[in-house]
Homo-oligomer: A and B are copies of this chain.
Amino acid sequence: MRIGELSRRTGVSVPTIKFYVREGLLPAGELTSPNQASYGETHVQRLRLIRALLDVGGLSVASIRDVIVAIDDPERPVHKVLGTAANRIVPRYNREQDAGIEEARKSVAELIAARGWTAYPDNPAGEALATALAALEDVGHGGFAEVLDTYADAAERVARADLEYVAHHVAREELVESVVVGTVLGDAIFAAMRRLAHVDASHRAFGRAT
């Protein structure tokens, strides 16, 4: 198909498609004449992936490029691709080294040990968790630690359901793409549901007064 049709099918404007090609996010179309290129279904799919990561996931163009380069590298073993992708889609927070973050890192290590979770060293999710816990302590809600087990139970259930879906519905060659999309969109889905459930829980706990 021509670039105009690709644009209509995906809702992405022609200049934006050209920008993605220049930035290495989308492979160039096949040249059918010196100034006309032809695009296929892989371009449609790739554009939808880019938009999901960009619009819903809030990833930067640079992060998306890293993820896509990893997905497209046939030399790289699957678990390394997954590692690259996972590390890119964990938010990195700026926090100065201080006593608070050291304490929080210890709490994270204890939590992982208490749950018996298999972990790998330097998983950026561990650091992200420590940063969030340190920020809670900073704003005077260190006592929230007692709720963390409920969070960990819920995360475990959701993660197992995610994996089951992947095991049953995802072909091996789509594995990495699905994991990236599922991680990013799953965050958005859970966050939205938690807010909906807050309204309901608040209604149950405090009645119409709130």
- Which of A's residues lie within 8 Å of B, judged by CB? 11, 45, 48-49, 51-52, 55-56, 58, 78-79, 82, 86, 90-91, 93-96, 98, 112, 115, 117-120, 123, 125-126, 128-129, 131-133, 135-136, 138-141, 143-144, 146-148, 150-165, 167, 169, 177-178, 181-183, 185-205, 210
How long is the Cα–Cα vector from A163 to B138 in the complex, in angstroms? 20
Given A117-B199, A199-B117, A51 and B150 contact (CB-CB distance below 8 Å)? no
Interface class of chain A by DSSP: helix
What is the distance, in angstroms, from A176's C-beta to the closest C-beta of chain B?
11
Given A152-B193, A167-B205, A138 and B200 contact (CB-CB distance below 8 Å)? no
Which chain B residues lie closer than 8 Å to A200 at the CB level? 115, 117-119, 156, 159
How long is the Cα–Cα vector from A82 to B202 in the complex, in angstroms? 11
Which chain B residues lie closer than 8 Å to A136 at the CB level? 52, 181, 185, 189
